Amino acid sequence: MNPPGSQSLGCCSRRHFLGAGTFGLGSTALAWMLQQDGLLAAPARPELEPQRYDLLPKPGHHPAQARAMISILMIGGPSQMDLFDPKPLLKEWEGRSFPGELKFDNAGQASSKVMPGLWEFQRHGQSGTELSSLLPHLAGVVDELCIIRSMRTGVNNHGQSLHALTNGRITHGAPVLGSWLGYGLGNESQDLPAFLTLTHPSGLPLLAEHNWSNGWLPSLYQGTVVRPTEPRLLNLDPPAHLRGLPQERQLELLRELNRGHRERHPGEHDLDARISSYELAARMQTAAKEATDIRSESPATLRLYGIDNDLTRDYGTRCLIARRLVERGVRFVQIINNGQSWDHHSNLYKALPEVCVRSDQPVAALVRDLKGRGLLDSTLVHWGGEMGRLPVIQNDGPKDKVGRDHNTYGFTMWLAGGGIRGGMTFGETDEWGHHAVKDIVSHHDYHATLLHLFGLDHQRLVYRRAGRELSLTDGKPARVVREILA
Amino acid sequence: MAPQPALPTPRPAWPTGTAWVWGTAALLTLGKSTLGFAAAPGGPLPARPVFERNIRPILKAKCFQCHGEEEKPKGGVDLRLRRFLTAPHATEPVVVPGRPDTSRLLEVVRSGEMPKAGKALTPDQVAVIERWIRQGAPTARPEPQTVPAVVITEEERQHWAFQPIRRPGVPRVRSTRQVRTPVDRFLLAPLESERLGFAPPASPEALIRRVTFDLTGLPPTPEEVAAFVADPSDEAYERVVDRLLASTAYGERWARHWLDVAGYADSNGGAEADSERPWAWRYRDYVIRALNSDKPFDVFITEQLAGDELVAQPGAGLEGEDLDRVIATGFLRMAPDPTGDGPADADLARNQVIADTLQIVSSSLLGLTVQCAQCHDHRYDPIPQSDYYRLRAVFEPAFDWKQWKPPGQRVLSLMPAADRAAAERIETEAKQIDAEATRLHDELIEKFVQKQLTLIPEADREPVMAARKTPAAKRTPDHLALLRKHPTFQDHIILGEIDRPGADKVEEIRKRATAKRAEKPADPQVACLVEEPGRNLQTVLFHRGDHQQPRGGVSPGLLTLHGLGGLTIDIPSTNAATRTTGRRLELARRLTDRSNPLTARVLVNRVWLHHFGSGLVGTPGDFGALGERPTHPELLDWLADAFIASGWRLKPLHRLLVTSAAYRQGTVNPSAQRRDPDNRLLGRARLRRLDAESLRDGLLAVSGRLDPRPFGPPVPVAINPHGQCVVGRQKRDGNGDAVGVDALGSDEFRRTVYVQVRRSTPVGVLETFDAPVVNPNCEVRALSTVAPQSLMFLNDAFILERSKDLAERLLREKPEDPTGRLVRLWLLLFSRPPSADELRRTEAYLVRQAIHLAPPSGGPVDPKAPPKPSPEAQALASLCQVLMGSNEFLYVD
């Protein structure tokens, strides 16, 4: 734990001081010094605190397994029966009419013809977990993964389902998981934001900034975008003519002026916070540049992530940056695809291998690398989209044209590390791979479980707004899926 | 001297010494937990708990939903009255007086078995229940024979905010020389009892900067500062105050405060589309004009709640006062509203709009959070669910969710008749083009279907077409089975995905219709709420807030708690004297009646909050049990009474407050700081950070860029290539995708209140500094101090441009006088000249910076390149940037 020491004084509000004052100055000073040394997290907020917010590390409700999370969001609906969820029955029924009800997004291309998985499945690792041949690299780390085959949001379309998985509602406007973690736990880095989103070079994802929205939480909990090209963080680079010494001179003068002003305003701790926020900003300019710059990584590491290969360079770079950020104490990192690039209504045969090949090696490298550095135990890795696909053909025709329509009633995602049991699959869809039927995991269960791993109780992590207590799980039934905990 | 202990706050002004206070405090603790971490105990347990004061509030918050409010209480256990608890029960008694060990109630709450939903009781709550049972489970008084429909206990009625406003006597104080207005006496009395007083007065420089930012949201000019410093007399100060209150900038500043609580936005929100709300700005302008003309606030409230009911014929041709009244109802159209953007569940969305509107009305005017009572009786305040629907019934005829008007249809056109005729002609033509497009679309789909037909067995062809042509609701099981077998004949076929060229052709035709419609003459409109006569929809209570579970009908009325002494206040369902039901007009009359305990208190508290940085009641949107108690209850009442007596006018109230000695004190008062570190007693002025608008407007003002033109359609915002929202016009490519931002000329430098408020894309510079999130409205702004704010000051384009502007301004105004430039810079930003030290230090900085910024000599010179600013000018700009980002600019003393 490494709290932002120079912020501590500033973030002790007047009320904190008042509370400490009853124990005499000695204990206030002691608390302050302990914060400096990272021995004491910020005290829980007193009850009638005016609305002020910070990113100081805070204790959770119970001991945490996970310290950081990397969420690899694969928006569009990765096809579970072609990747993670083998369904032999489909082979038997190939080409015959699906016997049950189906809900189509586009009837014009619909068919009820059953389509088996297009790629072979094989067992891998000690656990013997089955994966399709599209994920050869992931197969190498399969014993670290918990593959959940029974995800279900049950809402109709991409947007609603994506919101459900990011913010627990089916509309935008509420804070996403990363914001809740920053709000509940603060950040461990002195020099970096708590929540960073690495966007894809081909463009923003479906729902764009809603994927890293702080909703009605204060803006300090918003995700900061790490751009796919330099400058990777906005406002991080000084204008060319002020780079280096001139900006250092500016900061030096500013410090002097602010110090003079502070002396004329005894007891105004907000001013200290403001002064230290400049220190942090200055540090961030260096730290964030350093953290997002992979040139210091060894050639072996670059190769591991596939950065030497045109196809895997982008995901490789972003996965590697994600590891570097987590290593440096960032709480939540999101790696996002562009648009809804896993949305294979047609052309599945060609398009699915294309998206897989760009990410398979880098993602597997990330799990392997985290493990090798001893970071996997405390870093939760998530891979998944907002839906899966139907067991029938969409766009019937030549083999290279067919695809699959949406399915939010049963789909797959996986988790690894951070207190998750590796080498297991959890839950089942029906024999068609259509509806989740056993050990169904709703988006609320998923959120409750992740918060639990971070030491947070989803019912108690609340934000009061307009007389209501709001939470990520939105007061809906949600259970911690204990079966998948290590 | 030994350090004195700090005041025993945090609840200095609450009544103390009664068990009642404990009960309330415990509930407060329970509800206020910011992070939801374990709540601190509320204080010592009451020695002699009684049911009404100590037990019922806990049961109400935790248990009544299942054991009292339902028609049939769960398990037959009804907890509303003490005698129900002790009555013999099927299995075992819920409470056995004197015997905690055999009382089932204690067992289930202690084990966490109950409540089934929500959080368990705190150990303190369990302990007080145990003590109560041990002492024989007493009540304060005999319980009623029958359970009344609406249970509001005597204890709940006694809540401070529901008591009539009484003008208290002005307290006596010792240090009368610190008194300028009666307000000061109310503040000095509690200060003196702590052996404290006000801080020494602020300097004239600090005072004029404070009052100018406070009343106008802008810094004073150096000339204004100089004049006041030369004559800082009381009379001169009052002249400054009068000048500020008379300026347009006053309305622009104080309108923003009201727009926060009204939830003002130029977009509909609530859905992905976040479609534009093109005429909302007329309401914004109405608020600015109302404040500038000091429209009495009771009239202002009435017009916003019921302006349409004040107008004989709210139709085309309105002008003057009548037009304003209709515009004012825009207040009731501020809630997020996706009903025009194809919501998934239209009925749900409509009812949510009504619920959000009620939330805006109640938090802005009632100071209560009524929305909890939408689904069940309010857990903490005496607001039964039926009250919520009585209040809703007041608005029902105007909103009428069964005959709903989406946002696009609730406008009143101000278009002249001739223009209208022309527009109708064009619309007819456009509709013909639309029909052409629809025809082609349907033909192409049919062609596709026919082609599909050839792919299926002949025997199925005719039946499947019959099934396809049957409306969905009327299809037989055979039809459905066929459509399942041949899904390409189902209804939802997307042309673009089966026939791209065909879809393009349809799109071409639709574009012609759009182009045709663009020929229409301008149609100035007003977005408003106009009730239609004859609408008298029965309001019903929605079980658990679900509109699909209607229960009994309710009649319109105020909240029961408004009726002092236990009377309910009904609002007549119809009014023969008005064109419409007149319900909202009657509500407005009741809310602005001086007997109403809340309205005036809520309003003066908001005014106080903005002048002093913190309300007399710390929760301006919640005066209920979960809200904070007033720090100075008598002062709040005295001000509310004075406000009503002055005819509900704000400007005299501003004058009263800003001329007080309390307002004019400095920020430093060591003894007050030591004894009252939270500054609840106001023994010094609060140092306050500029809010988002004052910061942007202030930077525009000092850099000489501010374009003060008032009113009109919003200045647009756009997303720049970095994904940041900035002021500017969106540049789009042929596909309609955003590709950049076009500058707007001087419109770009208009005051922030005129900049478009898009709920989904707040302007970056404003959002970084805690601009309000209106969802549905904003009662109090958050205040953050974060690194992105500092990064913005260091590297953001907006700041760099303003620094350059300011440097150019200084060079223009003082071309030959480097020292004069610096003095001017200090006066512009800080309203004071620099000290000799500061001058010396800054001059040295400029010299060093200019040397570094000078281009390397001897290099090739490109004669075509635009002239670069000199190193001196760049150094000066870099200095301006430092000062703009310094605390002395960002904070107001």
What was the pLDDT predicted at A33?
31
Q: Is residue A52 part of a domain?
A: no
Confidence of residue B238 (pLDDT cuts 50, 70, 90): very high
What was the pLDDT predicted at B91?
62
More confident residue, B636 or A224: B636
pLDDT surpassing 80 at residue A17: no
Q: Please, what is the Cα angle at A60 between A58 and A65, to 5 degrees?
A: 115
Residue to mutate among B691, B768, B852, B887, with most A CBs inside 10 A, is B887
What was the pLDDT predicted at B269?
87
pLDDT surpassing 90 at residue B287: yes
What was the pLDDT predicted at A45?
33
Whole-angstrom distance, CA of residue A282 vs CA of residue A249? 12
DSSP symbols for B652-663: HHHHHHHTSHHH
pLDDT in tens, A185-197: 999 987 888 999 9
Confidence of residue B240 (pLDDT cuts 50, 70, 90): very high
What was the pLDDT predicted at B455?
87
Q: Is residue A365 part of a domain?
A: yes
pLDDT surpassing 50 at residue A253: yes
**Which residues in chain B are closer than 8 Å to A260, comparing Cβ atoms?**
838
pLDDT surpassing 50 at residue A302: yes
What was the pLDDT predicted at B843?
96
What was the pLDDT predicted at A121?
97
CA dihedral angle for residue B160, residue B162, residue B167, residue B169, rounded to 10 degrees: -20
pLDDT in tens, A354-371: 999 999 999 999 999 999
Q: Is residue A391 part of a domain?
A: yes
Contact B498 A172 (CB under 8 A): no
B432 at A interface, C-beta within 8 A: no
Whether A135 and A247 map to the same domain: the answer is: no
**Which residues in chain B are closer than 8 Å to A58, comparing Cβ atoms?**
35
Residues 709-748 of B with CB under 8 A from A: 722-724
What was the pLDDT predicted at B333?
96
Confidence of residue B625 (pLDDT cuts 50, 70, 90): confident
pLDDT in tens, B511-567: 999 999 999 988 888 999 999 888 767 888 888 788 888 888 888 988 888 776 556
What was the pLDDT predicted at B549?
85
B208: CB partners within 8 A, 6+ apart: B220, B224, B225, B228, B229, B240, B831
pLDDT surpassing 80 at residue B642: yes
Specify whether the CB–CB gap between B554 and B541 falls below 8 A. yes
Contact A254 B724 (CB under 8 A): no
Percent of chain B with pLDDT over 90: 53
What was the pLDDT predicted at A44?
33
Contact B852 A246 (CB under 8 A): yes
What was the pLDDT predicted at B318?
85
Quote the minimal CA–CA distance from A219 to chain B in Å: 7
CA-to-CA separations, A206 to A333, A334, A386, B731, B738, in angstroms, rounded: 18, 14, 11, 21, 15
B-chain residue closest to A183, CA distance: B35
Whether A215 and A103 map to the same domain: the answer is: yes
Helices (H) and strands (E) in chain A, counts: 14, 20
Helix (H, G, I), strand (E, B) or coil at B871: helix
What was the pLDDT predicted at A327?
96
Provide the 10 A C-beta neighbour count for residue A249.
19
A200: CB partners within 8 A, 6+ apart: A228, A314, A336, A337, A338
Confidence of residue B7 (pLDDT cuts 50, 70, 90): very low
Burial class (CB in 10 A: 0-12, 13-18, 19+), A22: exposed
Least confident of B36-45, B668-677, B786-795: B36-45
pLDDT in tens, A333-348: 999 998 899 999 888 9
Confidence of residue A52 (pLDDT cuts 50, 70, 90): low
pLDDT in tens, A147-180: 999 999 988 688 889 999 999 998 877 999 999 9
pLDDT in tens, B744-778: 999 999 999 999 999 888 898 998 888 888 888 88
What was the pLDDT predicted at B189?
96
Confidence of residue B786 (pLDDT cuts 50, 70, 90): confident
Whether A259 and A222 map to the same domain: the answer is: no
Contact B36 A237 (CB under 8 A): no
Tokens representing B291 are: 């404040």
Looking at residue B260, its amino acid is: D
Q: Is residue A465 part of a domain?
A: yes
pLDDT in tens, A112-148: 899 999 999 999 999 999 999 999 999 999 999 999 9
Q: Is residue A467 part of a domain?
A: yes
Least confident of A5-9, B411-415, B512-516, B701-705: A5-9
What was the pLDDT predicted at B259?
97
DSSP symbols for A185-241: H--S-SSS-SEEEE-BTTBPBTTGGGGG--TTS-GGGSPEEE-SSSS-STT-SPPGG
Whether A148 and A267 map to the same domain: the answer is: no
pLDDT surpassing 50 at residue A29: no
Least confident of A23-32, A272-281, B58-67, B430-439: A23-32
Range of the domain at A248: 242-292
Confidence of residue B30 (pLDDT cuts 50, 70, 90): very low
Contact B673 A267 (CB under 8 A): yes
Q: Please, what is the Cα angle at B89 between B83 and B90, to 5 degrees?
A: 165
Most confidently modeled range among B459-463, B481-485, B841-845 = B841-845
Rg, C-alpha atoms of chain B? 33
Tokens representing B276 are: 């534009």
pLDDT surpassing 70 at residue B5: no
Tokens representing A183 are: 């709000």
Residues 787-806 of B with CB under 8 A from A: 787-796, 800
Whether A122 and A198 map to the same domain: the answer is: yes
**Which residues in chain A are closer than 8 Å to B765, comparing Cβ atoms?**
none
Specify whether the CB–CB gap between B291 and B251 falls below 8 A. yes
Burial class (CB in 10 A: 0-12, 13-18, 19+), B557: buried
Residue to mutate among B483, B492, B497, B786, with most A CBs inside 10 A, is B786
Whether A419 and A305 map to the same domain: the answer is: yes
What was the pLDDT predicted at B859?
59
Residue to mutate among A106, A192, A235, with most B CBs inside 10 A, is A235
**Which residues in chain A are closer than 8 Å to B484, comparing Cβ atoms?**
101-102, 112
Confidence of residue B847 (pLDDT cuts 50, 70, 90): very high
- The CATH number linked to A95 is 3.40.720.10
Looking at residue A355, its amino acid is: V
Whole-angstrom distance, CA of residue B156 vs CA of residue B143? 15
Whether A459 and A347 map to the same domain: the answer is: yes
Contact B673 A110 (CB under 8 A): no
Specify whether the CB–CB gap between B831 and B219 falls below 8 A. yes
Tokens representing B782 are: 């958050």
Confidence of residue A76 (pLDDT cuts 50, 70, 90): very high
Contact B677 A17 (CB under 8 A): yes
Most confidently modeled range among A61-75, A391-405, B493-507, B728-742 = A61-75
Burial class (CB in 10 A: 0-12, 13-18, 19+), A41: middle
Report the DSSP beta bridge partners of residue B276: B267
pLDDT in tens, B396-410: 999 999 899 999 888
Whether A286 and A378 map to the same domain: the answer is: no
Nearest C-alpha neighbor of A445 from the set A411, A476, A409, A486:
A476
Whether A328 and A262 map to the same domain: the answer is: no
A-chain residue closest to B444, CA distance: A108
Q: What is the tally of structural domains in chain A?
A: 3
pLDDT in tens, B469-500: 899 889 998 898 888 888 888 887 888 888 88
Specify whether the CB–CB gap between B659 and B181 falls below 8 A. yes
pLDDT in tens, B361-393: 998 999 988 887 887 777 778 888 889 999 999
Mean pLDDT taken over chain B: 87
B614: CB partners within 8 A, 6+ apart: A50, B679, B686
Residues 678-697 of B with CB under 8 A from A: 678-679, 687, 689
Provide the 10 A C-beta neighbour count for residue B132.
26
Whether A455 and A472 map to the same domain: the answer is: yes
Whether A376 and A441 map to the same domain: the answer is: yes
Nearest C-alpha neighbor of A84 from the set A395, A352, A439:
A352
DSSP symbols for B115-167: -SSSPPPPHHHHHHHHHHHHTT---SSPPPSS--SS---HHHHT-GGGSPP--
DSSP symbols for B711-747: -SSPBPEEE-TTS-EEESEEEE-TTS-EEEEE--GGG
Which spans in B540-598 are helix H?
583-591
pLDDT in tens, A82-108: 999 999 999 999 999 999 888 888 777
Whole-angstrom distance, CA of residue B216 vs CA of residue B252? 7
Mean pLDDT on B46-70: 83
pLDDT surpassing 80 at residue A286: yes
Q: Is residue A168 part of a domain?
A: yes
DSSP symbols for B199-253: PPBPPHHHHHHHHHHHHHSSPPPHHHHHHHHH---HHHHHHHHHHHHHSHHHHHH
What was the pLDDT predicted at A25?
28
Q: Is residue A58 part of a domain?
A: no
Whole-angstrom distance, CA of residue A283 vs CA of residue B350? 49
What was the pLDDT predicted at B508?
93
Quote the minimal CA–CA distance from A316 to chain B in Å: 23
Confidence of residue A4 (pLDDT cuts 50, 70, 90): very low
Nearest C-alpha neighbor of A149 from the set A434, A483, A426, A447:
A426
**Which residues in chain A are closer than 8 Å to B490, comparing Cβ atoms?**
104, 107, 110
Q: Which of A44, A102, A285 sits opposite B35 (nearest CB)?
A: A44
Mean pLDDT taken over chain A: 85
Nearest C-alpha neighbor of B250 from the set B208, B210, B220, B215:
B215
Specify whether the CB–CB gap between B214 and B206 falls below 8 A. no
Whether A343 and A424 map to the same domain: the answer is: yes
Provide the 10 A C-beta neighbour count for residue B74.
14
B-chain residue closest to A157, CA distance: B344
Q: Which of B624, B785, B791 sits opposite A274 (nearest CB)?
A: B785
Confidence of residue B28 (pLDDT cuts 50, 70, 90): very low
pLDDT in tens, B310-332: 998 887 778 899 999 999 999 99
**Which residues in chain A are closer than 8 Å to B497, comparing Cβ atoms?**
106, 108-109, 345
Q: Is residue A55 part of a domain?
A: no
pLDDT in tens, A414-429: 999 999 999 999 999 9
Supply the DSSP symbol for B704: T
Q: Which phi and psi (to 5°) does residue A249 adopt? A: -65, -40
